[in-house]
Amino acid sequence: MKVLATLGALHATAPLYNAQTILEIIGFLGASRVVLGFVSPQIWQSNAWRDLDDPVLFALEDARVPVTAIATDWSWAETEQNKMLEFLKQFPQGQKRLGQFNALQRDLQTALQVPLDVATVHGSLLEVVTQYHTDTTALLEEGPGTAHRRQRITELVAQLELNADAVLLAPLDDVPLLLELGLELPDFTGFMPTEHSRFRAIIDRAYRLEENDDLDALVHQLLALDAPADTALARMALEARFAASGLYLAVGDWQSARDLLEAVSQGQFERPSYLAGFVLARLGQVRDLMLERDKAIRAYTAALALTYCPLEARAVAMAGLQQAFAIDT
């Protein structure tokens, strides 16, 4: 079976390897089904995965890609690892090992700062991660020190049904051992991200403003997309307008922010599933800023009435119901 590396929340900071790029790679590989090696069946079926802050999972849901989740709960192993690291602090030799472990982690974090694309993730970065786990295992030994990594991944591989039409999505951390146990990397020769991937990168960029950003240029890029209704691009265009509302809010143009949010709220914005909650919660905030308290309360209430409202949006809506939103000056 082929394995494709995922980066969790880091996809939102990787313009050339974002959640849309992952969808396009899956299509490029001709995979008819995706196997999740980091989500359990219970978490997937209960929709608890929506609280994991992983944009790829939302992208799979939005694109209606057939998914099979096969992971089991190994949180107890992480707890054991944390206990061991705390134990090491109590002894000089343990402190020395802990210092070496922290240095390995810093080096890995530095490696993650380079621009990431499909070739880098599965090439030079994978080599760094492989060496990191080799060094960590030598330092802390397999078992509690590595959160029983080999046992967990060996059991995961034993659950796989070897299907040429499926691709396993696994955290980059797990890929080195998955390859050692017989899985293979896909051949990415000829793959190129599409305009959809580029536009996803623009939206992601708008969510993390930096001090020297050209807001006018970013807003123009966000509002430039138009697409036929009920298509993936149309849904992305709605999210782009939501992202643009945040830029208007940042510069104090509340009316433009409200107009965009109201336009989005009148469209088909059930997908991606996180969008409705964020749109309504922010609409409530903007209406509060414009002294439209009754309308703000209706927006907050609507957000909380959704079948699914992201935790962050729910917190905003609940706070807004208790007290009108205001910006400190």
- What residue spans define the domains of the chain? 1-189, 197-322
Which parts of the chain are beta strand (E)?
2-6, 33-36, 67-69, 166-171
Token code pair at residue 254: 């509340």
> What is the spatial distance between Cα 157 and Cα 36, in angstroms, rounded to a whole number?
12
pLDDT for 209: 80
pLDDT value of residue 162? 65
Query: Digits of tens for pLDDT over the chain (329 positions)?
Result: 899 999 999 999 999 999 999 999 999 999 989 999 999 999 999 999 998 889 999 999 989 999 999 999 998 999 999 998 988 888 888 899 999 999 999 999 999 989 999 999 999 999 999 999 999 999 888 898 899 999 999 999 998 876 668 899 999 999 999 999 999 999 999 999 998 999 999 999 999 887 788 888 889 988 887 666 666 777 888 889 999 999 999 888 999 999 999 988 886 667 788 999 999 999 999 999 999 999 999 999 999 999 999 999 999 999 999 999 988 75
CA dihedral 314, 315, 316, 318 (to 10 degrees): 80
Q: Which residues pair with 117 in a beta bridge?
A: 16
DSSP state letter for 146: G
Tell me phi and psi for residue 326, to 5 degrees: -145, 155
Q: Which of 321, 254, 242, 324 is nearest to 278 (CA)?
A: 242
Question: Looking at the DSSP assignment, which residues form a beta bridge with residue 170?
Answer: 5
Euclidean distance between CA atoms 52 and 60, whole angstroms: 14
* Rounded distance between C-alpha atoms, residue 240 and residue 225, angstroms: 8
Instruction: For domain 197-322, give the fold.
Output: 1.25.40
d(CA 312, CA 300) in angstroms, rounded, equals: 13
- pLDDT of amino acid 280: 95
10 Å CB burial of residue 130 (0-12, 13-18, 19+) is middle
pLDDT value for 228? 61
